Structure 1
Amino acid sequence: MRITEHPILGKLEKHPISITFNGNKYPAYKGESIAAALLANNVRILRHTEKQKQPRGIYCGIGHCYECRVTVNKTHHVRACITPVKDNMFIESESGERI
Structure 2
Amino acid sequence: MFRKVTPGDKALSFHFEGGVCSAEPGDTVALALLVAGIDSCRDSVVSGQPRGPYCLMGACFECLVVIDGVQNLQGCQVQVREGMVVTRQRGGRHALGDTLS
TM-score, with length taken from structure 1: 0.85
Residue 98 in structure 1 maps to residue 100 in structure 2: no
Separation of aligned partners in 1, 2:8 and 2:22 = 15
Choose between structure 1 and 2: higher strand proportion.
1
Partners in 1 of 2:20 and 2:67 — Cα distance?
Answer: 14
Contact 2:65–2:72 at 8 Å: present in 1 too? yes
Sequence identity, in percent? 29
Unaligned runs of 5+ in 1: 5-11
Q: Which residue number corresponds to residue 26 of structure 2?
A: 31
Give, in angstroms, the shift of residue 25 of structure 1. Answer: 0.6
Matching residue of 1:2: 4
Matches of 1:13 and 1:25, distance apart in 2: 18
Once the two structures are superposed, residues 53-85 of structure 1 have per-residue CA deviations (whole angstroms, 9 ceiling, x without a partner) of 011001111001111000000111110112100
CA distance in 1: counterparts of 2:14 and 2:4, whole angstroms:
16
Matched AA of 2:33: L
TM-score (norm 2): 0.84
Deviations 1:10-53 (A, max 9, x none): xx854201010111111111110001111111000000011210
Aligned twin of 1:41: 36
Equivalent pair of 2:71/2:93 in contact (CA under 8 Å): no
Equivalent pairs, count: 92
Match of 1:66 in 2: 61
CA RMSD of aligned residues (A): 1.4
Q: Secondary structure at the match of 2:86?
A: strand
